[in-house]
Amino acid sequence: MANNKGVIANNKKPLKYHNRREHPLHRLPFVHLRKNKSGASFWAVPRTGSYQGSVEAGEALACMYLKHLREHGASPCGNLQHVVLEMCGMGSLGVHLTQEQNSLAGQIVGFFSTLDGWLAASAKGFGRNLDTANPSDLLAKANAGLNLRNPAMGAK
């Protein structure tokens, strides 16, 4: 797969909100704007912590995204597919991808951009509990999970 580890590998700092950014999506802690203005990395999360800690971090980050969807809705083309592409190391579509990887990227875009609209509608209609989710608590949970240094069961 395309090597897209630069942002992840260099990001060992705790996650934080980026409240001064213009676009609400870019304010989320897991979004990193590239320095050369070539767009954004939608999963700039350090690969640290134990398996269980990382599960907890992922849960907190998912709640942040759902809270974002409740407050701002989905973009017309969705954003979840960009998160998944970054997780899979295919963040820059079409750049150094084989035909098979490009096909998978298209499947990811179709699948997750469709889910994103449904998630936004669900968050808006049924996500009242997200209104009481404290962003600082979610951020603390994510950072705590990423900082658990115990190796995952079965990890080398």
Q: How confident is the model at residue 71 (pLDDT cuts 50, 70, 90)?
A: very high
Looking at residues 39-58, what average pLDDT do you find? 92
Question: What does the chain look like in DSSP terms, one character per residue?
Answer: -----HHHHH--SPP---TT-SSGGGGSTT-EE-TTSS-EES------S-HHHHHHHHHHHHHHHHHHHHHH---TT-SHHHHHHHHTT--STTSS--HHHHHHHHHHHHHHHHHHHHHHHHHHHH-HHHHT--HHHHHHHHHHHHH--SPPTT--
Model confidence pLDDT, tens digit, residues 49-63: 899 999 999 999 999
Q: What is the pLDDT, as a whole number, of residue 103?
A: 93
Q: What is the pLDDT, as a whole number, of residue 49?
A: 87
Is residue 8 over pLDDT 80? no
Q: What is the pLDDT, as a whole number, of residue 6?
A: 44
pTM: 0.84
Model confidence pLDDT, tens digit, residues 87-107: 998 876 556 888 998 899 999
